[in-house]
């Protein structure tokens, strides 16, 4: 299954935001620079994550983005659906009914077996994404990545985060 490049960008940005202190935000421009992405391209995906309730956008010159809920309540499925949409990856077009001598619909009393198999695979894939929490990915990164990479990520967060007043959802201490 091929996912949009924006899925990777969205997951990396969410993971970076999980490393911000308390209710601090990170500006979209800093996230774009950190991951070598076009700011306008990344902004489209950050807005999709905000619309899905994964991120919260804080307006103003000292604003930016932060997680809208704790990282342990955000799954890869949430992020993929926010970026790609809820439609399944495979869409059966019933091509079995086409061709030079099409038969009437009554010749096809059972659903397309290929469609059924693809939908089962899609359901398994989505179930696996639902089990993958953002917090687990961040924890695995901190423990398993090269210390230089972890230090780079921590330095990025420390250098670019903008302290904010607590959000309305009072998630500050729940984030960690």
DSSP symbol at 172? T
Yes or no: say if 13 and 54 are a contact pair by the CB < 8 Å rule: no
Domain extents in the chain: 5-175
Is 1.10.10.10 the CATH classification of the domain at 5-175? yes
Yes or no: say if 74 and 36 are a contact pair by the CB < 8 Å rule: no
Strands (E), 45-173: 55-58, 64-67
Residue 32 CA to residue 106 CA, distance in Å, equals: 54
pLDDT of 21 reads 92
Yes or no: say if 67 and 17 are a contact pair by the CB < 8 Å rule: yes
pLDDT of 175 reads 42
Residue whose structure tokens are 């950050």: 46
User: Tens digit of pLDDT per residue, the chain (176 long)?
Assistant: 678 899 999 999 999 999 999 899 999 999 999 999 999 999 999 999 999 999 999 999 889 999 999 999 999 999 999 999 999 989 999 999 999 999 999 999 999 999 999 999 999 999 999 999 999 999 999 999 999 999 999 999 999 999 987 655 544 444 43
* E strand or H helix that includes residue 118: helix 113-131
Residue 49 CA to its chain's centroid (Å): 7
pLDDT of 169 reads 52
pLDDT of 168 reads 59
Q: HSE (CB half, 13 Å, CA atoms) of 12?
A: 17
DSSP symbol at 35? T
């Amino acid at each position: 299954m091929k996912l949009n490049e924006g899925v990777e960008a969205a997951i990396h940005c969410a993971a970076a935001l999980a490393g911000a202190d308390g209710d601090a935000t990170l500006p979209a421009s800093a996230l774009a620079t950190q991951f070598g992405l076009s700011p306008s391209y990344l902004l489209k995906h950050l807005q999709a994550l905000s619309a899905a309730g994964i991120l919260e956008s804080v307006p103003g010159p000292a604003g930016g983005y932060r997680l809208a809920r704790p990282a342990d309540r955000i799954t890869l499925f949430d992020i993929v659906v926010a970026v790609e949409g809820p439609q399944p990856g495979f869409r059966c077009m019933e091509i079995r009914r086409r061709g030079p001598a099409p038969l009437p619909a009554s010749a096809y009393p059972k659903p397309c077996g290929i469609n059924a198999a693809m939908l089962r695979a899609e359901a398994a894939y989505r179930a696996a994404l639902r089990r993958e929490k953002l917090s687990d990915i961040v924890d695995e990164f901190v423990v398993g990545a090269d210390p230089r990479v972890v230090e780079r990520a921590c330095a990025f967060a420390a250098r670019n985060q903008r302290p904010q007043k607590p959000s309305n959802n009072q998630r500050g201490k729940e984030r960690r």
